[in-house]
Amino acid sequence: MMRRRWMAGLALACNLATADAATLTGQVSQIADGDTLTLRAGSRPVKVRLVNIDAPESDQAWGFQSKRSLESLVRLETVRVRTRGRDKYQRVLGEVVRVRDGLDVNLEQVRKGMAWAYTRGTAKGRFEAEEQTARENRVGLWQDSAPVRPGNWRRRQHADGSATGSPEDAAPPPEGKAARSAAWEWASPQFIESHTFFIQAASSESAAGLTKSQPPGAIP
Give tens-digit pLDDT for 46-73.
Answer: 999 999 999 999 999 999 999 999 999 9
Assess whether 156 carries a catalytic annotation: no
Please report, as a single letter, which amino acid is at residue 30: Q
* CA dist., res. 178 & res. 83, Å (int): 16
* Active-site annotation holder among 49, 82, 84, 154: 49
| C-alpha 209 chain-centroid distance | 17
Asked which of 8-22, 119-133, 194-208 is least confident by mean pLDDT, the reply is 194-208
Active site residue 135: no
CA distance 184 to 181: 5
* 57 included as an active-site residue: yes
What pLDDT is stored for residue 25 in this prediction?
96
Sign of CA dihedral 209, 215, 219, 220: negative
Give CA separation, 91 vs 42, 79, 83, 125, 132, in Å.
Answer: 17, 17, 10, 25, 28
Query: Which pLDDT band, with edges at 50, 70 and 90, does 19 fall under?
Result: very low
Domains of the chain and any CATH numbers: 2-208 (2.40.50.90)
Considering the chain, what percentage of its residues have pLDDT values greater than 70? 64
For residue 208, which amino acid is it? A
Confidence of residue 158 (pLDDT cuts 50, 70, 90): confident
With beta carbons less than 8 A apart as the criterion, state whether 115 and 149 touch: no
Torsion sign over Cα 142, 58, 174, 77:
negative
Condensed to tens digits (0 to 9), the pLDDT of residues 184-205 reads 343 344 433 444 444 344 444 4
Q: Of residues 35 and 21, which shows the higher confidence score? A: 35
Q: Which one-letter amino acid corresponds to residue 131?
A: E
Confidence at 97, pLDDT banded by 50, 70, 90: very high
How far from chain centre, in Å, is Cα 13?
A: 19
Find the range with the poorest average confidence among 65-74, 140-149, 168-177, 189-198: 189-198
d(CA 108, CA 168): 19
pTM for the whole thing? 0.67
User: Among the listed ranges 6-20, 46-60, 160-174, which one has the minimum average pLDDT value?
Assistant: 6-20
Q: How far does Cα 151 stand from its chain's mean position?
A: 16
In the prediction, which pLDDT does 42 show?
85
Catalytic option among 80, 84, 91, 154: 91
User: Are the beta carbons of 78 and 100 closer than 8 angstroms?
Assistant: yes
**Active-site residue, selected from the candidate residues 57, 108, 131, 168:** 57
